[in-house]
Amino acid sequence: MTAKSFCERLRARDSVVGYWVVLDAPPATERIARVGYDYVVLDGQHGLLSARGILDGLLAIDAAATDTVGLVRVEANNATPIGRALDAGAAGVIVPLIDTADDAARAVAAARYPPAGIRSYGPTRSGLRIGPTPADADAATVVLAMIETRSALENVAEICATPGLDGIYVGPSDLCLAVGGKYPGDPDVADVFEAAITRIAKVAADAGVAAGIHTKNGDTAKRRLSEGYTFATVSSDLDHLQSIAADHLATIGLTNRREPGDPAY
């Protein structure tokens, strides 16, 4: 699947499924890209990835020679990291901490060439894999706004109506805190959280834009897709690494043997 066909599917609200990468480990990222996910996200906000790490991750995804495309969650709603990620060859950006329609409009402008936006021309790598023509680049890259704050929840309809925005992406950990949770997954706010999740999907559907969400496992991703979300990301490389290692230890009949007084506990 080329970047353009991925973008066409996402904009058409077809179901697509992805994976999340936080580690700067290109050989591992390349293997993940061979599994069959439609996209792999490189986390430039909370992940352990520098600008060089993002570039190496995108190279690894393309080296897998599959239909999987690379997306980048940029560190901030700023033209520099957005442009850098797209110049490196990302098929799109996920932009964090979007609170208002004006925030969303700034993200769109940063990702689009003039006259639609303010992206500076310098397709150092994207020109090789997408093409050097600004119109082609705009058509073959997506802009996704994160819905993860109380303000974003209040303004989600206006955000979804932002011209040029391809979709929204729910960050469930921060959204849980935004609706009053003491920590991500707090059961005391489960009903309020689920109501927010349902409302966001409906608003996106009414606006005709893609609606995505991060999930902790395949079962949750499948459920969210059945509830109206059009794309879902499954867990992350670091979470799976720890989970699988712990599962093997438990199979042997052992558990975490660190003591609370251990400095590394």
* Catalytic residue IDs: 46
Number of Cβ within a 10 Å radius of residue 2: 13
Q: 203-239 b/e with 16+ CB inside 10 Å = b?
A: bbbebebbbbbbbbeeebbeebbeeebbbbbbbbbbe
Which amino acid, 251? T
d(CA 18, CA 32): 10
d(CA 13, CA 43): 23
Q: Is the peptide bond before 96 cis (omega within 30 degrees of 0)?
A: no
Q: What is the CA radius of gyration of the chain?
A: 19
